[in-house]
Structure 1
Amino acid sequence: MNAAVMGSPVSQTQSMSWGRLWRNAQAWAVTVALHGAVVALLVVGWTLQQPPVSAPSVLKTRLITLPAERAIAPAPQPLPVTQQPPVIEAKPEVKPVPVDPQIQARKLEQAALARKRVAEQQQALEARQVEQQQARLREQQADAQRQQALADQARIAADNARRAQEQAAAADVRHYLPISKEAPDYPQRALDKGIEGDCTVEYSVTPQGKVENPKVVGNCHPMFIRPSLLAAATFRYKPRMVDGQAVSVPSVRNTFHYKIQ
Structure 2
Amino acid sequence: MGNLVRLLIGVPIAGIITVALFFIMTRLILVEGAPVNEDVEDRNFTINDEVAEVDARRRDTTIEDVQQVDPPPPPPQIERQRAEQPSEGLATVMGEIPAFEAPQLNSDSVNFSVSDRDAQPLVRIEPQYPMRAAERGVEGSCWVRFDVTPDGTPTNVSVYRCDSSLFERASIRAVERWRYNPKVENGVPVARRGVETRFDFQLAD
Q: Which has the higher strand share?
A: 2
**Above 0.5 in TM-score?**
no
TM-score normalized by the length of structure 2: 0.41
Larger Rg: 1
Whose relative contact order is higher, 1 or 2, with alpha carbons under 8 Å and at least 6 apart?
Answer: 2
TM-score normalized by the length of structure 1: 0.32
Q: Which has the higher helix share?
A: 1
